Amino acid sequence: MAVREPDHHFVRLVTDEQFQHTAGVFRMQPFIFESGAALPHVDLAFETWGRLNARGDNAIVVCHALTGDAHAGPGKSGPGWWSRLIGPGCALDSEQWFVICSNVLGGCAGSTGPSSLAPDGKPYALRFPLVTVRDIVRAQVELVRALGVNRVAMVIGGSLGGMQVWEWPLLAPGFVEHAVAIAAHAVFPAIAIGYNEAMRQAIVADENWRKGEYYDHGLGPVAGLAAARSIGMLTYRSEALYTARFGRGPARPSEGEEAAVWPPSGGASWPNAHEAFTRPLFAVESYLHHHGRKLNARFDANSYLYLTRAMDSHDIGRGRGGLEPALKSFGARLTLMSISTDYLYAPSTLRETAEMARQCGVDCRYFEMESDYGHDAFLLEQDKIAALLAQPAAFG
């Protein structure tokens, strides 16, 4: 049987000159996953800011985290999730650099994932192949090359985005000048795998998950995804932040509701047992419920399952003889940034990895960001990341 030649092309491009911003979709057909499974085609939604220079060497690749998307910088639709870092005069200056961000393979913000339609016209659901971080990066490399990039000046990202950063120089040798991994280990830690599993259990235990086949039933596993988000939020922020922001303050009642008092006193009739277990009593509970509702409004539960499993796959030494041999073949400058209050990705581990990288011949710098925000500081403390990137050694 004849082997079909790959056909990779752009199926949509929309340019906004006001922001030097382009949004598009890149199609790869076919695409073969690390598992050996193949799809006839996959799409990557992407956005860019700035212009590629004549040499094709001023590109910066930005990689997003678990529930992120390609809209990292400003555009007509509003600011992106890293808009204080991307744009004219910013740390990732779009007047100097060609900044690229794509929605990950397996996601649900324009790229092909389990909610996408298969060739039979029905959502893939669990028929979608399992995805690894390496699959995500291989697809990104194809996109970036198709955009005309000859060399990537920097690849940068935090959390799942940082895991992608770790893989870029190893999957595209000689293509990357500088890798900046924020709040992401070279090997995904056991505690993080455990939390991912707890989040997945919350989703699959929801009767409306229907083994992934919920798209035609009107109601998906909203309770399960909200519970998963609550688990995640408790790991993304620090104890100090939760204490300072909420303490033991009561939940604010909705209009017409009686305020919660716990434990009840003075003959208060509220809460009854059902309400006590389903309605927030404390402000921190309201906060978690709010984030669960927000995520349900924009994210697919099956993508959450697939992408947390992709995170579990992350180990740059896998299939390469271990961490040390992988570092010896890294082939790019490396900057590692930890967050002082990060519960998932301990600064001590990143310090140890930085030292190992230096011993393996990698030009490696290490920084620890002081922050009360916990793991999410890479999204919330953009000024501190900008200060890191402002150092002369960041570029060039």
Hey, which residues are catalytic here? 159, 342, 375
> What's the rounded Cα separation, in Å, for the pair 148 and 135?
21
Question: Which uninterrupted H or E stretch holds 4?
Answer: none
> What's the rounded Cα separation, in Å, for the pair 240 and 44?
38
Tokens in use for 254?
A: 């909705």
Task: Mark out the alpha helices in the chain (DSSP H runs).
Answer: 133-146, 160-171, 190-204, 222-236, 239-245, 273-278, 283-296, 301-312, 323-328, 347-359, 377-380, 382-389
Give me the helix-helix angle, 222-236 and 283-296, nearest 10°: 120
> What's the rounded Cα separation, in Å, for the pair 104 and 299?
13
User: How many CB atoms lie under 10 A from the CB of residue 206?
Assistant: 21
The single-letter code of the amino acid at 2 is A
Of 294, 382, 309, nearest to 104 by C-alpha is 309
**Per-residue burial over 59-69, b = 16 or more CB atoms within 10 Å of its CB, e = otherwise:** bbbbbbbbbbb
User: How many CB atoms lie under 10 A from the CB of residue 191?
Assistant: 13
111 neighbors 105 (Cβ within 8 angstroms): yes
The single-letter code of the amino acid at 322 is G
